[in-house]
């Protein structure tokens, strides 16, 4: 294999690519010689023909909040691409867009003009989940509660409301989620630790923290973790950090490896083995109202999100009743 093709991926990703190449090459023996195009085609086949690669449903429904108060670390990108990967492999998923910017809604191709029934009305208790959740064009198994710009005022409006930290939890009641029939709920948080994020932390059992493999990656993480502790002790005793995902890995920099090993040293098995590489395709996809799986299924970015989703799904399949492995 040419050096150039592995240089921009982590050892983890490189070895997985080797492993998947070996696995897929058996399936596609027509490729007498392995070429970059064959590799891309094989990746696309794994993304687009999910029947052969179904992911397990969890023993019980999982609600994950995707949080990190730093902006630009890959919260939204990870939310929509993990959701699409799970959905395209047979799992029913709901994405709740809790960021007034509405970027998750855009990537999932869900209407989010001001006035559209959205997470804002859901938080206010004006409209039930069934009337705000919209099916995404990314997959028949994928639903999204969009965020409109109306949500921008919610942080302040919520302050004076009764049970202001519990609004989302109440809206995502077991009955409402049962009616929608979803196995997973992924909540995309805004880049702050305000009331919207607190609502997300109260509504979930699990926190998924994306960490960008960059300088200052760990800055502010202590604050996030102590907020999670606070919510756990006062509002939601089941809350725990179940998953850490390293994003935007650039193998050409030493720094990316340093951040990766630092995070693994700190958080151990909570960190997914799969690392998401920095890839132009990943950043281009939302511009076409698509996830990277829909935009370029043969890309490394798409494949890495499928691998990460599979790790999450497999962890969920082994979970006991209280939500922990």
Considering only 56, 90, 128, 191, the residue that binds ligand ADP (CB under 6 A) is 191
CA distances from 123 to 114, 147, 171 (A): 15, 11, 7
Q: Pick the stretch among 24-32, 33-41, 88-96, 272-280 that binds ligand ADP (CB under 6 A).
A: 272-280
The residue among 13 and 95 lying less far from Mg ion, judged by its C-beta, is 95
The residue among 177 and 272 lying less far from ligand ADP, judged by its C-beta, is 272
Q: Pick the stretch among 68-76, 89-97, 234-242, 307-315 that binds ligand ADP (CB under 6 A).
A: 68-76
User: Is residue 23 within 8 Å of residue 43, measured between CB atoms?
Assistant: no
The residue among 76 and 148 lying less far from Mg ion, judged by its C-beta, is 76
Nearest of 37, 312, 40 to residue 186 by alpha carbon: 312
Contacts of 44 (CB under 8 A, 6+ apart): 297, 298, 302
> How many residues sit close enough to ligand ADP to count as binding (CB under 6 A)?
17
Q: How far is the CB of 12 from ligand ADP (least distance, A)?
A: 14
Considering only 9, 13, 24, 74, the residue that binds ligand ADP (CB under 6 A) is 74
Considering only 282, 309, 313, 315, the residue that binds ligand ADP (CB under 6 A) is 282
Strand order from edge to edge, sheet including 206-212: 134-135, 142-145, 93-97, 184-188, 62-66, 206-212, 240-247
Nearest of 308, 275, 270, 262 to residue 14 by alpha carbon: 275
d(CA 325, CA 323): 7
Q: Per CB under 6 A, does 173 bind ligand ADP?
A: no
Q: Which of residues 88-117 bind ligand ADP (CB under 6 A)?
A: 103
Q: Per CB under 6 A, does 301 bind ligand ADP?
A: yes
Q: Per CB under 6 A, does 251 bind ligand ADP?
A: no
Bridging pattern class, strands 206-212 and 62-66: parallel
Q: Per CB under 6 A, does 46 bind ligand ADP?
A: no
Q: How far is the CB of 216 from Mg ion (least distance, A)?
A: 18
d(CA 265, CA 267): 6
User: Is residue 248 within 8 Å of residue 69, measured between CB atoms?
Assistant: no
The residue among 100 and 301 lying less far from ligand ADP, judged by its C-beta, is 301
d(CA 300, CA 314): 21
Q: Pick the stretch among 57-65, 67-75, 133-141, 195-203 that binds ligand ADP (CB under 6 A).
A: 67-75
Binding partner of 278, given Mg ion, ligand ADP, none, CB within 5-8 angstroms per partner class: ligand ADP
Contacts of 278 (CB under 8 A, 6+ apart): 8, 248, 249, 250
User: Is residue 165 within 8 Å of residue 199, measured between CB atoms?
Assistant: yes
Q: Per CB under 5 A, does 76 bind Mg ion?
A: yes
Q: Per CB under 6 A, does 167 bind ligand ADP?
A: no
d(CA 41, CA 47): 10
Q: Per CB under 6 A, does 197 bind ligand ADP?
A: no
The residue among 97 and 183 lying less far from ligand ADP, judged by its C-beta, is 97
Interface residues with ligand ADP (CB under 6 A) are 71-77, 103, 191, 247-248, 276, 278-279, 282-283, 301
Interface residues with Mg ion (CB under 5 A) are 75-76
């Amino acid at each position: 294999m040419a050096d150039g093709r592995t240089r921009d991926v982590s050892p983890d990703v490189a070895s997985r690519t080797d492993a998947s190449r070996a696995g897929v090459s058996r399936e596609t023996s027509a490729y007498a010689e392995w070429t970059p195009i064959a590799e891309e085609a094989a990746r696309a086949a794994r993304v687009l023909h999910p029947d052969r690669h179904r992911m397990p449903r969890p023993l019980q429904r999982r609600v994950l909040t995707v949080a990190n108060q730093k902006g630009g670390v890959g919260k939204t990108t990870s939310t929509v691409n993990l959701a699409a990967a799970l959905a395209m492999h047979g799992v029913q998923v709901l994405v709740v867009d809790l960021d007034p910017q509405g970027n998750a809604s855009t990537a999932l191709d869900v209407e989010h003009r001001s006035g559209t029934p959205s997470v804002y009305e859901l938080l206010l208790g004006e409209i039930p989940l069934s009337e705000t959740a919209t099916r995404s064009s990314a997959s028949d198994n994928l639903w999204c509660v969009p965020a409109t710009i109306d949500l921008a005022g919610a942080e302040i409006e919520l302050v004076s409301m009764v049970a202001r930290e519990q609004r989302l939890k109440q809206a995502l009641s077991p009955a409402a989620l049962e009616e929608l029939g979803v196995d997973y709920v992924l909540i995309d948080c805004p880049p702050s630790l305000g009331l919207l994020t607190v609502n997300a932390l109260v509504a979930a059992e699990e926190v998924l923290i994306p960490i960008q493999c960059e300088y200052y990656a760990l800055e502010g993480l202590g604050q996030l973790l102590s907020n999670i502790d606070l919510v756990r002790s006062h509002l939601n005793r089941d809350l725990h950090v179940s998953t850490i995902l390293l994003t935007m890995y650039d193998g050409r920099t030493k720094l990316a490896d340093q951040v990766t090993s630092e995070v693994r040293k700190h958080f151990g098995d909570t960190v997914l083995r799969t690392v998401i590489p920095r890839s132009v395709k990943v950043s281009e996809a939302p511009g076409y109202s698509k996830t990277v799986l829909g935009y370029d299924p043969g890309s490394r970015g798409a494949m890495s999100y499928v691998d990460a989703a599979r790790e999450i799904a497999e962890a969920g399949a082994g979970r006991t009743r209280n939500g922990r492995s």
